[in-house]
Structure formats: C-alpha cells, structure tokens
Amino acid sequence: MREISQEARYRQMMEEPVHTLIPRLAVPSIISMLVTAIYNMADTYFVSQLGTSPSAAVGVVFSLMAGIQAVAFMIGMGCGNEISRLLGQKEREEAERYVATGFFTELIAGTLIAIAGILFSEKLVYLLGSTATIAPYAASYTRYVLIGIPFFMASLGMNNMLRFQGNSFYSMIGIATGGILNMFLDPLLIYGFHMGIAGAAVATSVSQMISFCILVWQCNCMPACLSIRLRRFQPALSRYANIFRFGLPSLARQGIASVAVIVTNFAAQPYGDAAIAAIAIVSRVAMFMNSAIIGFGQGFQPVCGFNYGAGNFKRVEQAYNFSLRVCFCALLFMGAIVFCNAERVIVLFRKDPDVIAVGTLALQLQSLSIPLAAQITMANMFSQTTGYNFRATVVALLRQGICLIPVLLVLPRVLGVRGIQAAQPLSDVFSAVIAFFITRSILREMRRKTAEQEKAESNSGKMLAQAEEV
C-alpha cells in the first residue's frame, strides 16, 4: 500500500498541471501558516490586555523564538529539500535516513537550547532588548515557553519533511490542531487561572506538545508518509553537510529575522515601551499577511524539488511563474484591506494612544510594501529548493538583514520614530529589486540546461535513425 501510494505521488508531482497541483498542495500549508499566525496574534492580543509592558515583553521574546525557529527550519528545510530530490530520483531508503536524522537532531538540539535558556533567562531578556519595566514579564514568559521547545523544534522538522514529501495535509492537521488549542488555552490560563503572561507561555508549550504527538503518529501510521525509525538514525558528516547546505538559506532568513527584532527593539527603546509594543503588533500583522504566501510557496516547493531532481526544468519554471503571480495578487489585495483599516487593527490589540499613533502609520507603510514580499519569498524558496544555496542565502538575508539593519541603524537617527516606522517598507523595496535579478540569473541557467537536454535528445534521435537506416 505504501509503495503504490508513493508511486502515485511521484506521478502526480511530475504530470498534473501546476495550476491545479500547487493550489491543492498549498491549501493545507496556507491553513497551517494562517492558524500559526493567528495563534501568535492571539498571544499578542490576550497579553496586550494585561498592559503595555507585558505586550512589549512578548515582542521582545519573539526574537528568541525566531532564533530557535531558525535552527529548527534549517534542519527541517535542509532535510525536506534533500528528501524531495531523493524521492524524485526514487531513492526511498536514503530519504528515510534523512527523516530520522532530521527528527532526532531536532529533539536533541531543542532539549539543549531549552536547558540553557531556562538557566539564563533573566540575563537573556536584557540581551534581547528588554527595558527594566519589561524584563520581569519577559523572563517569566521565557522560562515557561522554553519547556515546549524540544517539541516545537521536532514539530517544525516533521512539518517541513511532510510538506516536501507532498503530504502537506498531514502537516496541517498537526500544526493547526496545536494552534487552535493554544487560542483556547490562552484566555483560560491567563485569566481563568490568573497566571498572567506565564499562562500564555504555558498554553504555547502545551499546544506544541500536542502538535508533536499528532505529527509523530501521522508520520508512522499514514501510508503516504516516510516513517520515523530510530534504526534509520545514522548520523553522518556527509548527511549533515547536505542538511546544512540546503537549510542554510532558512537559517539565514529566520536567524536574521531574530537579529532584526533585537535591533528594532534597541532602536525603539528611546521612544518608550509603547513604541516597542506598537512595532511588535505591526510585525505580527505583517507576518499574518505574509503567512498565506509562505503557505502557497510551501505548496510550490515539493513540485519544484521533485521536478528539479528529475531534470524537468521547464516544469520548474512554469510552477515558479504561476506561484509568483498568485502570491503577488493575494498580497496586493490583503495590503489594500489592511491599509484602509490600519488604526482599527492596532486598536484591536491595544487602546493605548501612544501605541495607536506609532502603530497606525507603521502598519500603513508596511501594507504598501507587502506585495513586494511575494518576489522575495518566492525567490528564496525557488533558489533554495533548486540547490542554488549561495544565492538563496543572499535572498534570505535581504529583507531583514542586508537591507533592513543598515536602514534601522541610520534612519531613526535622521527621522526619529518615523525612521523606525519606515525601515521595513524601505527594506522591502531594495530586497525585491535584488531578488528579481537573482531569480532571473537562475532561470537563465535552467533554460540553458533545458536547451542542452533537448540538443542531446535530438542528437540521440538522429543517431538512432541513422543506425536504423544502416
């Protein structure tokens, strides 16, 4: 049953029209990303009702979570990329070794990070950009949220590996269930059990444990999924080198996001807790808008990986162009809606006049530039999945690193708080232009490979015809 199911999956990836295949694969990923974004926003919303400083604390700790997520994504995406290419080449046994390597490495790394973070939580929050008023809340949140980190990292790993197998529905079930549970646990623990900001962290950890259990069960019990087996865990330097090579762009993208949040927090410190809280809210809303696009891109990646592994470069380019057009139009639509309702959106989270003043303009500016994230996101996923890892890493570093951090260091000195509000939109413009040229260079190389393939096939056909004549 398993073999038949996987063979059918292979034919689907290679033959079904991309305009029906990618959306179908993308829908579960989009749901997963939206649910994740919603429960992140739920954390922000419920904690915001406790006060400005607790609200800012969630924004401060977000940089830590982004850093941990970066490591988890590096391992998961690195394994996933290799898995999809191996399945495209019909090398199932080696693909299963990557599944086991990714899963157990995530668990071990998560445990080590959790222990270190809990032991040094009070010092850590100041390094993340806490003020004296924010630090007690941030430390409390950090200690409890880190308990779930091993499960969080392993879940992200399984999520990515399932997606690259073409099993995004199963990843959706695990991630979405945990996200929905978190939204119910937040108010129960924060207000019902009077745990305050610690309740939000406990809710997150419990939800991550539930997601972990569901994903493990699906990986081992669903016919279309490659199983997780301890005997397949065979750590090898060559295998980890491939994981790092294919996962480096994800590490760069997520890791630099963590650094960017820290730099933003320090840049906003002179303008008080309200500015830090406002930017944290805007970043969560922007993440929500971009999450659907990331989900769609995740539907594109297994199609890209399978076909690239099989040498079908024309289909890879077709899939990329289709995905880019859909993502741009979707972000343009969402950006327009958020722009017209920016103040209402900020008020949903915090009614503090200072937070509203800073957050409204920042959100409007972000809404204007958010369609450009389609080019940046798809360029990153495309270059990473096709193995152009240096260029993928450059693209990954653009939006919240190469372009954003210099702007954050300079613009607030010139424009004050306006510089903080305009920093990300300006970075988006620069990043999209650079990403466009990088993508164009990769497409040129793929077209050359296609031409070489067609020439070789033509020559082979001519030689065969001549042989038959003789």
Amino acid (1-letter code) at residue 30: I
SS3 content of the chain, % helix, strand, coil (to 5): 90, 0, 10
Please give the Cα distance from 201 to 187 (Å, whole number): 12
**pLDDT tens column, 18-71:** 888 999 888 888 887 777 777 677 777 788 788 878 877 887 887 788 789 889
Please give the Cα distance from 84 to 12 (Å, whole number): 13
pLDDT above 80 (res 457): no
pLDDT above 70 (res 467): no
**pLDDT tens column, 120-167:** 988 898 888 787 888 999 999 999 999 999 999 999 999 889 988 878
468 against 424, higher pLDDT = 424
350 against 156, higher pLDDT = 156
The reported pTM is 0.72
Mention every residue, 6+ apart, whose C-beta is less than 8 A from residue 247. Answer: 73, 74, 75, 76, 77, 78, 79, 81
Q: Where are the beta strands (DSSP E) in 131-217?
A: none
- Burial string for 359-391 (b: 16+ CB within 10 Å, else e) reads bbbbbbbbbebbbbbbbbbbbbbbbbbbbbbeb
pLDDT above 90 (res 87): no
Q: Identify the pLDDT of residue 343.
A: 92
Instruction: Kindly state the percentage of the chain with pLDDT values over 90.
Output: 36
Q: Identify the pLDDT of residue 462.
A: 64
Q: Where are the beta strands (DSSP E) in 136-249?
A: none
Closest CA to 66 of 252, 196, 281: 252
Closest CA to 419 of 396, 81, 427: 427
**Which H or E run contains 358?**
helix 353-369
Lowest-confidence segment of 44-48, 110-114, 445-449 by average pLDDT: 44-48
Q: Identify the pLDDT of residue 3.
A: 41
Lowest-confidence segment of 200-214, 305-319, 326-340 by average pLDDT: 305-319
Q: Identify the pLDDT of residue 461.
A: 64
Assigned token pair, 35: 């649910």
19 against 469, higher pLDDT = 19
From residue 33, how far is each of 129, 147, 210, 289, 417 by CA, in Å? 27, 22, 17, 10, 31
Q: Do the beta carbons of residue 217 and residue 171 sit within 8 Å?
A: no
Q: What is the mean pLDDT of the chain?
A: 86
Q: Identify the pLDDT of residue 322.
A: 96
How large is the average pLDDT for residues 100-106? 95
Q: Sorting pLDDT into bands at 50, 70 and 90, what band is 84?
A: confident
Q: Sorting pLDDT into bands at 50, 70 and 90, what band is 414?
A: confident
Q: Do the beta carbons of residue 102 and residue 76 sit within 8 Å?
A: yes
Tell me the Ramachandran region of residue 140: left when phi exceeds 0, alpha when psi lies from -120 to 50, beta otherwise: alpha
Q: Identify the pLDDT of residue 1.
A: 36
Q: Sorting pLDDT into bands at 50, 70 and 90, what band is 344?
A: very high
Amino acid (1-letter code) at residue 465: A
Q: Identify the pLDDT of residue 4.
A: 41
Q: Identify the pLDDT of residue 2.
A: 43
Please give the Cα distance from 160 to 102 (Å, whole number): 10
Q: Identify the pLDDT of residue 469.
A: 61
The 3-state DSSP class for residue 85 equals: helix
Please give the Cα distance from 215 to 208 (Å, whole number): 11
